Copies of this chain bind each other. A is one copy, B any other.
């Protein structure tokens, strides 16, 4: 079944139709995170936008990275982050993915996506950027740094975690957060949403020592 392997060269990719190429290349890295980014403009207008580009950057200090394209959607999100230095990251779960996907539509800047999507902003005591009340795992971040990526004119937003809201039943005794207990989804490509089933949690790997399951 797997024996008809296509060899796709750099030249083949260059010659793809741009929409085909966007679908194809967006799948190459594997599964991605699904998060709603909550921001508030200087004028107090809330904004919400789904991104699949949030990634783990480091634990100590607790940092998340996020790639943004300055000249495409989500422009309001990037502007608000630069203007205010803060934003929230809200996990998308299985009952929320359609509303979350709809947030990528180009609504006018002066209209809040919360109203369009029938989602509720939730204020934190730590910042003005709104959480998504319906999300099960919510993170408030302050901008630590913005790095321009010269290779393709994107920007890497580096945020430091200021506050996490997480259901206590999902945090296991070793600190692991059971994302399946939260129904957090994952994304592939530009538009495909997936639920997960845990195969296993594996012990810390050492040479010549068999791995063991540490799944609770």
Contacts and interface: CB of A to CB of B under 8 A. Distances in A.
Interface of A: 1-10, 13, 16-35, 52-65, 67, 69, 89, 91, 94, 97-98, 101-107, 116, 126, 136-137, 139, 144-145, 147, 149-152, 154, 156, 158, 160-169, 171-172, 174-177, 179-180, 184-186, 188-207, 209, 211, 214-215
A24 B168 contact: no
Contacts of A166: 5-6, 8
Contact of A162 (B10, B53, B126, B168): B10
Given A104-B205, A145-B150, 4 more contacts: A10-B160, A27-B179, A28-B139, A31-B186
24 contacts: A3-B167, A4-B168, A4-B169, A6-B168, A7-B164, A10-B62, A10-B163, A17-B175, A18-B60, A21-B175, A24-B171, A29-B55, A30-B34, A30-B54, A31-B31, A58-B69, A101-B211, A104-B205, A105-B206, A186-B194, A192-B201, A193-B198, A195-B199, A197-B197
If over half of A's interface residues share one DSSP class (helix, strand or loop), that class is named, otherwise mixed; here it is mixed
A139 to B, nearest CB: 6
